[in-house]
Amino acid sequence: MSMTFSGQVALVTGAANGIGRATAQAFAAEGLKVVVADLDVAAGEDTVALIRAAGGEALFVPCNVTLEADVQNLMARTIEAYGRLDYAFNNAGIEIEQGRLAEGSLDEFDAIMGVNVKGVWLCMKYQLPLLLAQGAGAIVNTASVAGLGAAPKMSIYAASKHAVIGLTKSAAIEYAKKRIRVNAVCPAVIDTDMFRRAYEADPKKAEFAAAMHPVGRIGKVEEVASAVLYLCCDGAAFTTGHALTVDGGATAI
């Protein structure tokens, strides 16, 4: 799938594996320079190596998105290396819940909200001035189908993803006249390392996960990456404040 991009530089957080890695590779395949950010240094460097092996250009910057200094450093390194920022995919996120709401812990709440909400807010806070200086740009945040409805036994995660959509829609309206678009992707269950860890111990869970999608399977990371690239490309110039489901029909039921 070939798309048209006016910009030259894309930033991806949570890019060491899964959806983030696939999207970083997809941006690079379109000829964009990619800044790969993650806490996992070894896997983040692997993402860069894969991009370079395919003929692309990429830079790894270690970043904990919950730390303001790390996020500021990430933006500074981006400008230092490439002189600009055009597209940002704020994808870093965690899911560590196991039970019902009353069984959750304060540590779980703080960790999930810290990465999934504060991390997205901090990244946008420091990306938006760079896009304003550039005169245009696009941001995509990773929400979830859990941000569009209920997610039993994942209440904190669901709340965090509802919050991501709230941040996305509000920023989209604030910057709509500045030629900066802000959207979100809302994946259902996607075949990632996180999914495999959760389900390999219980094959019945994997069967249930496939069955919850009308198409009869879980999603691929490349399918989410395609959605992110669409939301950033010139063809999506009239799309902002949107939460795009990539869910095999799950939310249509």
Active site residues: 157
H or E stretch at 29: helix 18-29
- Contact call for residues 7 and 234 (beta carbons, < 8 A): no
H or E stretch at 90: strand 87-90
Integer Cα distance of 221 and 225 in angstroms = 6
Q: 119-134 vs 155-174: helix axis angle to the nearest 10?
A: 20
Integer Cα distance of 244 and 50 in angstroms = 28
- Contact call for residues 172 and 240 (beta carbons, < 8 A): yes
- Give the 3-state secondary structure of residue 61: strand
The closest of 13, 71, 16, 12 to 194, measured between CA atoms, is: 16
